[in-house]
Amino acid sequence: MSNDLFSIRMRASAGGVHLSGAERIVSREELDPVAAELRSRAMSKNREPDSIVITMEPLKDASFLELQALPVTTASCAQMADARREIFCRLETTGVSPQSAEKAVELLDTGPASPGRSMRGAVIMTAFSGRRLEPDQKRGIRVSRFDWKKECLPDIDAFFAASGLTHFRTREALALATKVAHAPGVIAELCWSDDPDYTAGYVASRLFGYIRFENLKTPGSASGGRVFFVDENRFDLEKCSVYLERQPVLIYL
């Protein structure tokens, strides 16, 4: 069935270094205001971009997948060390080995693109042996073509307001994590932002939903990223990448 929805994506960089990115699915009427919003977000970074690319692509004949958002819980870990211990326990319940979990945390601490650099996309890591599978280790796999379903926006706004989670990052991360949790072969995700002022992060899986932590890193640290753990026994990189990058997904609550 044909539709009038568009994928709109922004990426901003300076000197070849990725600064920020965003992806939305919007109707034709929203293209201009959302493009302006993404442009202003790109320019609100501490560092001025020397390139901002905004891509608009009609999804007219695409078949959409609709997914219910993962349930959200906030872990009450007072110290960063407690939060880190808790993510190890949670990852282990999904089948991620302690070695893989440690390697993932170390990568996000040091910058997974090369020491000190964060990636534009995510690391794909085998859950047992901790091998990296993403074809380009500087860029990573960028999840795209997902958004909240428009009809559900009032419910979604109400949900986030009632939970006291009003930052746009949480809202975008829950949508992304929901798409990722349903990817073929993916068993869990670990994420925290590379924004020095934003220390919250999460672990997510279909098993326990989206568990957020207020303090996964030290304030002021510019390291962060995403790791998608995959089951090496049933993993097809091509199939998973096509789903993550190209399959349009709308999320409802």
R_g of the chain, CA atoms, integer Å: 17
170 is an interface residue for ligand WAQ by CB under 6 A: yes
225 part of the interface to ligand WAQ, by CB under 6 A: yes
151-178: b (≥16 Cβ within 10 Å) or e: ebeeebeebbeeeebeeeebbbbbbbbb
The Cα–Cα gap between 119 and 121 comes to 5
Cβ 200 to ligand WAQ shortest distance, Å: 4
Nearer to ligand WAQ, 61 or 213 (CB): 213
Residue 21 or 29: the one with the smaller Cβ distance to ligand WAQ is 21
Q: How far apart are CA 210 and CA 201, in angstroms?
A: 10
Q: Does 111 bind ligand WAQ (CB under 6 A)?
A: no
Report the C-alpha gap between 77 and 132 in whole angstroms. 29
Q: Is 248 in the site for ligand WAQ (CB under 6 A)?
A: no
Question: Interaction with ligand WAQ in 16-45: which residues (CB under 6 A)?
Answer: 21, 23
d(CA 28, CA 65): 20
Q: How far is the CB of 174 from ligand WAQ (least distance, A)?
A: 7
Which spans of this chain sit near ligand WAQ (rule: CB under 6 A)?
21, 23, 118-122, 140, 142-143, 167, 169-170, 173, 176, 191, 193-195, 200-202, 212, 224-226
